[in-house]
Amino acid sequence: MQMKLKLAVISAAVILAACGKKEEAPAPAAQAPAAPAGLVVKIGHVGPTSGAIAHLGKDNENGARMAIEELNAAGIMIGGAPAKFELLAEDDAADPKQGTAAAQKLIDAKVNGVVGHLNSGTTIPASAMYSEAGLPQVSPSATNPRYTRQGFKTTFRMVADDVHLGSTLGKYAVETLNAKNVAVIDDRTAYGQGVADEFEKAVAAAGGTIVGREFTNDKATDFNAILTTLKGKKPDVVFFGGMDAVAGPMLKQMKQLGINAKFMGGDGICSSELPKLAGDGMADDQVYCAEAGGVEGEEKAGMDKFRADFKAKFGTDVQVYAPYVYDAVKVMADAMVRAGSSDPAVYLPALAATNGYKGVTGTVSFDEKGDIKNGALTLMTYKGGARTTLAVIR
């Protein structure tokens, strides 16, 4: 019986083979398409969140946090995948050595892009490392021209540089403030010396006279010696190339020494913290400075809203550059969306091609060096302990 069954099975197999048929496994059940895998995008931010200008560094970092939170709330898609943005924040203490250490940490963490650093003195050495790693870097505030003139394809700047900043202030000192004799002090940093050099050139070109050039450092607190030297030269204007943490005590000591000159500086002193740092050393309409950026007309409403939202979220006013950090993060994310990738090598060309992005700081377009096109400057003075805008200049 078993033999007959085996023969019957064999015969059936032979017949099936002869007919060109074979047994088929049942078709699998239809499955729904898999949802796109989530994409984690790591944005590095570096600024001085410790030290004398920690208030400026924290201001910048908060601008980055605000942008990251909004990107995540918006449900951004990159290359068909939902993107989750993460902020990796590092402190460089405005020190070039610590700045390069922070840069290496971000490179090792394989961030997708970097927004920072705040100071030119930390931005420039770090930029060589980011370039070597092929990592896009957008500085919201470094103004030394050298930053974008090194030939790196990875460097971008959100604000006008020192050539524009210093020359505008120098011309304003002579032509608007009617200064004939001008003294210049710088803190020997890449930023401070750079903007002071450009200011000095512009004063001379406008017909003013530089009666003295002195220098200090970015951690100094005693300026009596250099101010006493300059007092004897009777300057109409004292220009300081440096940051607000040094400018505040300098203003106090100018008052103590009876120096009644106007005081000028670049974006480094143009903060909401300066009146507190200067105490009773600042009189109304004594200090004139320029913020490397600015909006006017219809664009002002967007900036006003950002400032209000920022204060509501963090409980403090914008110092200087939080809006530029915010836009830098958004511009970087926009380039990733346009490129369909967060891979630095893939989205870098899209970032370089940014043209006409509408941000809270105005319209963002980059030139072939990575500099902002048609960068603005906002001239300001202080009245009643608050900044007052004089003009926006392009």
- Asked whether the beta carbons of 163 and 375 are under 8 A apart, the reply is no
Domain co-membership, 209 together with 258: yes
Domain co-membership, 281 together with 300: no
In this prediction, residue 5 carries a pLDDT of 36
Whether residue 317 is contained in a domain is answered as yes
Domain co-membership, 103 together with 149: yes
Task: Report how far residue 157's alpha carbon sits from residue 149's, in angstroms, rounded to the nearest whole number.
Answer: 11
Domain co-membership, 283 together with 169: yes
CA distances from 95 to 38, 124, 189, 190 (A): 37, 12, 10, 11
Whether residue 22 is contained in a domain is answered as no
Domain co-membership, 183 together with 251: yes
Whether residue 282 is contained in a domain is answered as yes
Its domain, for residue 91, covers: 39-159+296-373
Domain co-membership, 184 together with 273: yes
In this prediction, residue 141 carries a pLDDT of 94
CA angle 336/296/265 to nearest 5° reads 90
What backbone torsions phi and psi does residue 114 show, to the nearest 5 degrees?
A: -130, 135
Domain co-membership, 231 together with 311: no
Specify the amino acid at residue 319: Q
Domain co-membership, 61 together with 116: yes
Whether residue 23 is contained in a domain is answered as no
Domain co-membership, 243 together with 332: no
Q: Which residues pair with 107 in a beta bridge?
A: none
In this prediction, residue 150 carries a pLDDT of 97
Cβ neighbours around 149 below 10 Å, total: 13
Domain co-membership, 154 together with 101: yes
- Asked whether the beta carbons of 157 and 267 are under 8 A apart, the reply is no
Residues of the chain with pLDDT under 70: 1-37
- The model's pLDDT over 279-293, given as tens digits with 9 standing for 90+, comes to 999 999 999 999 878
Number of domains in the chain: 2
Whether residue 26 is contained in a domain is answered as no
Domain co-membership, 222 together with 171: yes
In this prediction, residue 375 carries a pLDDT of 86
Task: Report how far residue 13's alpha carbon sits from residue 334's, in angstroms, rounded to the nearest whole number.
Answer: 63
The model carries a pTM of: 0.83
Q: What is the CATH number of the domain that holds 267?
A: 3.40.50.2300
- The model's pLDDT over 364-385, given as tens digits with 9 standing for 90+, comes to 999 999 999 988 889 999 999 9
Domain co-membership, 245 together with 259: yes
Whether residue 4 is contained in a domain is answered as no
Q: Is 239 helix (H, G, I), strand (E, B) or coil?
A: strand
